[in-house]
Each structure stands twice: as C-alpha cells, then as structure tokens.
Amino acid sequence: MSKQTKFLLNEDQMPKFWYNLQADLPKPMPAVLHPGTLQPVGPDDLAPLFPMALIMQEVSQEREIEIPEPVRDVFRLWRPAPLFRAHRLEKALGTPAKIYYKYEGGSPAGSHKPNTAVPQAFYNQEAGIKRLVTETGAGQWGSSLAFAGSLYGLEVEVFQVRVSYDQKPYRRALMETYGARCVASPSHETVYGRSVLAKNPNHPGSLGIAISEAVELAVQREDTKYALGSVLNHVLLHQTIIGQEAMLQMQMANDWPDVVVGCAGGGSNLAGIAFPFIGHGLRGGQKPRIVAVEPAACPTLTRGKYAYDFGDTGHMTPLTKMYTLGSQFTPPGFHAGGLRYHGMAPLVSHCKALGLLEAVAYDQVACFEAGVLFARNEGIVPAPESNHAIKGAIEEAMRCKREGKAETILFCLSGHGHFDMTSYQKYFAGELTDEHYDETELALALASLPNVPETV
C-alpha cells in the first residue's frame, strides 16, 4: 500500500469549468417566488442585487460554466488545493477505513470562501460596480470578500453580526488588512438596523439581520451590489471546484469514496465537495453516499421543514423552497458561527428531498473532541465548522470498524481554526457546553412560515 500523504495537482490541472448539478437533476428545482405576488421571479427582479453574469449563473441549466481566466489566475495563489490521506488519524482510530480530506484552509482567508468571493468580485468589477456590501458571522466570508475586493479595487463593506464583531476582533482586523470596512450589525446605518435597535439596543445580531442590512444598502445605490457567501445557486456552483479537484485526486490515489462528508451551514462547502460526485452518480458513475453534518443546535436539515421561506429576518429577499427552521428562529450562540443560519441552500435542500444526500447532527463538545484528535494526529487545527465534518467522518470510520469494512471516506476540511482559538481555550477549560435551542421558539418560528399554497 502506498504511504503517499498528499495528492497535488499542477496549475494546468486546475478545472477550467464549474460543474452545475442542475443539468443532471432528475427533477428541476422549485421556482423562486416573489413574496408579494407568489409569482416566479425573473432575472430582472434580481438585477438590483447582483450583476447579470451572476444572475445568469443562478438560473443556468448548462452542465459546465467556464471559469474566466482572470479568476483562475487569482485561484493560482492557493489552488489546486491539496487532498490528504489521513494515515495517522486512521491508525489512531484503528479503523480499516481509508480517510481522505480535501483541505481548503490554505487560501489567504483560511477557508473555502474565497472560491466564490473571487469570481463574485470579478463579475462585479466587469459590470462596472464600485462597491460590494455583504454580511458575515464569524468573519470567514467577510474576510474572503475583503481579500477578493482588494485584488479588484472594489470597496467592500461588511455587516458583521455584533456578537462576533465584539468577540472575534482578529477576523475584523483581517478584513481591515485587506482594506474593507466592517460595521457591527444591527447598526444605525440602515432603516432595518435602526428598527431592530429601537426594540433592543443591545441586540446581539444574527446573520438574517445582517443580510437585511446589506441588502437594504445595496439596492439604494447604482454603483453598489450585494454579495452572499453561501445558499445561492451561483455560490454553490463556484464551490464545485473543490469536488472536481477531489475527483481528479481520488483517481491519482487509485481510489474512490464510498462516503463523502461535509459540514453544512448554508450548504456551500458541502455542495462544493459533493455535487460533482452526485452528478457523476446521476450520469451512471459510481455514486458515494453523501453525508451533511450540521450542528445539533441549528439542525436545519434534520429538524427543519422543507417549505418556502425568506432568506433573511427582515423579509427583503424572495421566497425559496428550502429546509428551514423559520426566518424568525435565532440559533443559540455556539462556536461554529458559520453554521448558524436558519435555512439551507435550496439546491442542497432539493437534493435532500430527492434522496440524493443524508443529514446528521452532532453537539459541539463532541465536534471539538473530534477536532482535537484530528489536530494531534494530522497537525492542522480545524475551524469549529470543519470539526463537524471531522466528527461525521470519524463516525463513519468507526462504523466501518464495527462492521469490518475497509470503506473509503472523503471529507472536506473547509478551513483552519487559527482565528478560533478562544473556542479551543474554552473547550480545554471545560467551559464549552452543548448549546440547545428553545423548542417553543422553534415551534413558533416554524408556525410563522409564509403561507404558500402547495399548488404554486
């Protein structure tokens, strides 16, 4: 057996096209609806928010969409990303399973987010846009867009959820290093922010509120657009480069996954690693099981409802059909900030509804335990979000051990945890506990979903 640890691609092996799963789906996605008319929205409805090139990607049914050369040129700073065989982790677990991980933490911002930040900045610059507004939780997305903006000379303004803004000043400093402006949300800079603060001046903020603030600002100015770091089809599309590279690398390893695991918040890194494998299966190739791992404290896929809902708290977005905990649901303050979103990407949700992927949920202490075991064997200290994928992969490996099966497991290590060391400190101090949402609040949030007739 080869002891090879790292499977590297050369720059000229970097994919030239993103893979669009919509081309291979057995059933098309449900339409996106205007909340007032409940009629499907068209490209023009989205034009105040996004440049037309991204809107066209949002609705495209083409299987392959070309990655522009200037985008590939920036990707060369960290892509192709390495695929690792986790020899030491396998040994520590005593599992017959083979574990591979695709590592996305080598990007400048330390996560998979620049994979979409760079093309989004590129298409906006091409369209003559001067300024991008966005939201961020822990700051992985905000720092990635700040990085991309700095390369294309775009102003970037980030509404950061206040609790993260206060607790994670290092991510903010990273955004500022790339030249972005960072504002705590809810803020006084928007009508919606002021309305939230009027009710509760100490509101800790949420992703849903920050999205509302960013959208409000974006629609007001001609030279300004909005950018979203997950959930939307074009964002998921941009992340498919992860899985496309991983497929080439699994071939280099003369192996193929039986299971593909990813953590799921908005759904983009899961889609990135999984969609190319799902599509390969739908076209008749060997299809791995796909496992989405979410936090037990925000269990969108495992406890949510598959229904039409708003993407934001302020109800400025169109309605999309997705697994949701309700747009009024506020997840408890656990440490994987990137997974604290009430909804799940419509395309990931559609796959779940079609039986193309499974979902599990784990509590945060167990996920940190998995992350520390990983760090002590494989060296990389993972982001709290990525710890969920590791936990999922370890559970699969332990199942293989019980069943005596030498299956091949692939997971996406979406980012490093160097900005999240306070969480690890708390874990070691025994101060990290499992967070629980309020069952009554969840029931209320699910009961207040918008009323959309089944026939639509």
Are the C-beta atoms of 250 and 410 separated by less than 8 Å?
A: yes
Beta carbons within 8 Å of 229's beta carbon, 6+ residues apart: 113, 116, 117, 134, 136, 140, 141, 144, 145, 235, 266, 268
Shortest Cβ distance from residue 441 to a copy of itself (Å)?
32
Shortest Cβ distance from residue 310 to a copy of itself (Å)?
34
Spell 387-422 as b/e; 16+ CB within 10 A means b: bbbbbbbbbbbeebeeeeeebbbbbbbbbbbebbee
Residue 15 Rama label (left phi>0; alpha psi -120 to 50; beta) = beta
Shortest Cβ distance from residue 273 to a copy of itself (Å)?
20
Are the C-beta atoms of 259 and 274 separated by less than 8 Å?
A: no
Shortest Cβ distance from residue 338 to a copy of itself (Å)?
16
Cβ distance to a copy of itself smaller for residue 428 or 456: 428
Q: How far is CA 373 from CA 84, 101, 377, in A?
A: 16, 15, 6
Nearest to 228 by CA among 181, 184, 265: 265
Cβ distance to a copy of itself smaller for residue 149 or 311: 149
**Residue 147 — φ and ψ, nearest 5°?**
-60, -50
Cβ distance to a copy of itself smaller for residue 76 or 405: 76
Shortest Cβ distance from residue 170 to a copy of itself (Å)?
4
Are the C-beta atoms of 186 and 193 separated by less than 8 Å?
A: yes
**Residue 145 — φ and ψ, nearest 5°?**
-70, -35
* Alpha helices for 379-451 (secondary structure H): 384-403, 421-428, 439-447
Q: How far is CA 423 from CA 385, 415, 433, 448, in A?
A: 11, 15, 11, 33
DSSP annotation of 23 reads G
Q: How far apart are CA 3 and CA 456, in angstroms?
A: 55
Q: Parallel, antiparallel, or unpaired: how do β-strands 83-85 and 6-7 relate? A: antiparallel
Cβ distance to a copy of itself smaller for residue 153 or 285: 153
Cβ distance to a copy of itself smaller for residue 12 or 44: 12
Shortest Cβ distance from residue 184 to a copy of itself (Å)?
15
Shortest Cβ distance from residue 335 to a copy of itself (Å)?
13
Beta carbons within 8 Å of 144's beta carbon, 6+ residues apart: 107, 109, 111, 113, 114, 116, 117, 229
Shortest Cβ distance from residue 445 to a copy of itself (Å)?
35
* Residue ranges in contact with a copy of itself by CB under 8 A: 3-6, 8, 10-11, 73-74, 76-78, 84, 88, 106-108, 110, 114, 147, 150-151, 169-174, 176-179, 372, 375-381, 416, 418-419, 421-422, 424-425, 428
Are the C-beta atoms of 380 and 81 separated by less than 8 Å?
A: no
Spell 436-452 as b/e; 16+ CB within 10 A means b: ebeeebbeebbeebeeb
Shortest Cβ distance from residue 333 to a copy of itself (Å)?
19
Cβ distance to a copy of itself smaller for residue 139 or 318: 139
